[in-house]
Amino acid sequence: MAIDADKALPPELRGKGADVSESDLKDLEKMQDKNVVQLSRFHLRLRRSGPTQVVRYSRDAGAAPLWPSVTHAPEHTARTVPPCPRCGAPRTFEFQILPQIINHLKVDSELHSAADFGSAAVYTCSKSCAPPDPGEDGCVVGLDGDLEVSGAYAEEVVLVHPPLNA
């Protein structure tokens, strides 16, 4: 098999010249297949629930977001999803926002600042503990010493999968 132009190569292999090894190719093949499988799974699931679905919600134990790819799925670790700062309970998956929501928001998709993502998953306190009392003036001081607007809001964690065309 002769590869005559660099642009015929997947981006991961470009510029590697003759240094592309058999195992590089095998890795890439595996990776691409995984992403193709994952993207198909994502679209099938979305098609089943209809084009108007913009959020997937589940509080079941072990519920997890469905990401559009394997390679760009955000890492879920103790660092990216730390425990609840109020009560120390683990934060668990609550819901994910699907990219279709962008079509429902009246934003100019050509704008540089326009929202775009593959999906975003929100992790909340598994014990749903009460946010701190806002006090009389409606303000509380957060753990980091910053003044927060209102105790009625609890800080949660969002993991974002980048847009698929990024």
- Binding residues for Zn ion (CB under 5 A): 84, 86-87, 89, 125, 127, 129
Q: Cβ 82 to Zn ion, closest distance in Å?
A: 11
63/154 with CB nearer Zn ion? 154
- The shares of helix, strand and coil residues in the chain, as percent rounded to the nearest 5, are 25, 15, 60
User: What is the spatial distance between Cα 69 and Cα 149, in angstroms, rounded to a whole number?
Assistant: 36
Q: Are 88 and 133 in contact (CB under 8 A)?
A: no
129/157 with CB nearer Zn ion? 129
Contacts of 91 (CB under 8 A, 6+ apart): 81, 82, 83, 84, 123, 124, 125, 126, 156, 157
Q: Cβ 25 to Zn ion, closest distance in Å?
A: 47
Smallest CA-to-CA distance from 63 within 90, 84, 36, 35 is with: 90
User: What is the spatial distance between Cα 108 and Cα 103, in angstroms, rounded to a whole number?
Assistant: 10
Q: Cβ 100 to Zn ion, closest distance in Å?
A: 31
76/86 with CB nearer Zn ion? 86
Q: Cβ 32 to Zn ion, closest distance in Å?
A: 40
Q: Cβ 79 to Zn ion, closest distance in Å?
A: 18
CA dihedral defined by 148, 150, 156, 159, rounded to 10 degrees? -70
51/82 with CB nearer Zn ion? 82
72/86 with CB nearer Zn ion? 86
